[in-house]
């Protein structure tokens, strides 16, 4: 069961006859949202439509399945949740877009690496569209980065789980948030990695408007992948 929903889901009809349901959840606690997407994935069959959940979370640190708690450098009143996604430790909080694509990857002809690259490219395209011309990948470190001086700073994180060929968890994009909690961790396990948001690099945009850009490119890339399978 979806934990909360601000409005009726939007249904995106794809060219090959498939569809994706878009659910906007608003501000929702992390733990019940994780439990809900895991339960959806466990229960889904070939008849279930793919879904994308969009939300924000109250302040929370999350640690991946093989994560190392030593990357939590400073304890605070912000809870730490151990999850079943890949990756190390990250932070979620208000002002950050969190997108959970709940997808049967076989429908899109995607293996894990290709799926990660698709998510990264959707973020990169959306950032370029709002003026972040240097948005880029970093070899061996999933996510999306932008240059700050001579160093790359992280602006978006990825963490996924594949079960029965289906993906859950997803991505987070920092728009306009309190970045202080990132100083309490080694973000994604990388010591000294700077984390930025759009506001701190001079891009003034609302969460809603940035979400529109991000979803536009994510749907475009997913539709292109699915169309390639259908050929």
Instruction: Compute φ and ψ for 60, nearest 5 degrees.
Output: -160, 140
| DSSP characters over 50-113 | EEEEEEE-SSEEEE-TT--GGGB-S--SS-EEE-SSSSSEEEE-TTEEEEEEEEEGGGGT--HH
d(C-alpha 161, C-alpha 193), whole Å? 24
* Active site positions, annotated: 188
* Phi, psi values for residue 22, rounded to 5°: -105, 120
- Say whether 168 sits in a helix, a strand or coil: strand
């Amino acid at each position: 069961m979806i934990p909360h929903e601000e409005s009726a889901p939007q249904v995106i009809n794809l060219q090959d006859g498939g569809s994706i349901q878009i659910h906007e959840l608003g501000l929702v606690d992390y733990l019940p949202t994780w439990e809900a997407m895991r339960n959806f994935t466990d229960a889904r069959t070939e008849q279930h439509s793919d879904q994308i959940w969009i939300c924000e979370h109250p302040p929370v640190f999350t640690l991946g399945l093989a994560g190392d708690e030593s990357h939590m450098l400073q304890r605070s009143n912000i809870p730490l949740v151990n999850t079943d996604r890949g990756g190390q430790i990250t932070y979620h909080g208000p002002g950050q877009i969190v997108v959970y694509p709940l997808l049967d990857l076989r429908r899109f002809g995607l293996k894990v690496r290709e799926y990660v690259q698709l998510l990264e490219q959707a973020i990169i395209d959306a950032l370029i569209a709002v003026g972040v011309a240097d948005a880029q990948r970093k070899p061996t470190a999933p996510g999306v980065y932008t240059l700050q001086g001579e160093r790359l700073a992280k602006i978006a994180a990825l963490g996924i789980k594949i079960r029965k060929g289906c993906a859950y968890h997803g991505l987070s994009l920092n728009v306009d948030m309190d970045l202080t909690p990132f100083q309490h961790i080694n973000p994604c396990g990388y010591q000294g990695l700077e984390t930025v948001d759009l506001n701190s690099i001079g891009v003034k945009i609302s969460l809603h408007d940035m979400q529109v850009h991000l979803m536009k490119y994510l749907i475009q890339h997913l539709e292109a992948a699915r169309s390639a399978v259908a050929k």
